[in-house]
Structure 1
Amino acid sequence: MQPFALNYARPAVESDATTPYVYDCGLQLNVLRDGRVAARDHSLLRELGTTVSTAGSKTHFDD
């Protein structure tokens, strides 16, 4: 029996955009290249509106 969600699952689309932050699995936060927490950079948040990552998917197996 196939789970219902697999009928609608699609592969992730690769984006050409680059983000000024990366996910730090040790901190479980997005960090800027200089090591600062991305969510504390107010100019970045004004520009992007959010700092989205796949953090939940990497830390929770039931997502």
Structure 2
Amino acid sequence: MQPFALNYARPAVDLEATAPYVYDTGLQLNVLFDGRVAARDFALLRELATTTSTAGSKTHFDD
């Protein structure tokens, strides 16, 4: 018997977008390419709503 949800499940769509920031392991923050902290760029936050990193930690204010 197949679970009901599998009749309606769809694979996730891969978006072809790149984030305008990278994770800095020394600071443990996402930073913009010019070195500024991404979480302090309010225009970026308004556009993206978040600066989630791939660090795996959810304890930083920019995650």
Mark yes or no: TM-score above 0.5. yes
Question: C-alpha separation between the residues in 2 aligned to 1:31 and 1:44?
Answer: 11
TM-score scaled by length of structure 2: 0.63
Structure 2: any 5+ residue segments left out of the alignment?
1-12, 58-63
Q: 5 Å matches for 1:22-41?
A: 22-41=22-41
Q: Which has the higher contact order (CA 8 A, sep 6+)?
A: 2
Larger helix percent: 1
Structure 1: any 5+ residue segments left out of the alignment?
1-12, 58-63
Q: CA deviation at 1:14?
A: 6.1
Give the secondary-structure state (helix, strand or coil) at the position aligned to 1:19.
Answer: coil
Q: 5 Å matches for 1:38-57?
A: 38-56=38-56
Question: C-alpha separation between the residues in 1 aligned to 2:22 and 2:14?
Answer: 16
Question: C-alpha separation between the residues in 2 aligned to 1:24 and 1:53?
Answer: 10
Match of 1:10 in 2: none
Question: C-alpha separation between the residues in 2 aligned to 1:14 and 1:43?
Answer: 25
RMSD (Å) for aligned C-alpha atoms: 1.8
- Which digits, 9 at most, give the CA deviation of each residue in 1:5-60, with x for residues without a partner? xxxxxxxx864211100000111100000000000000000000000111126xxx
The answer to whether the 8 A contact 1:29-1:55 is kept is: no
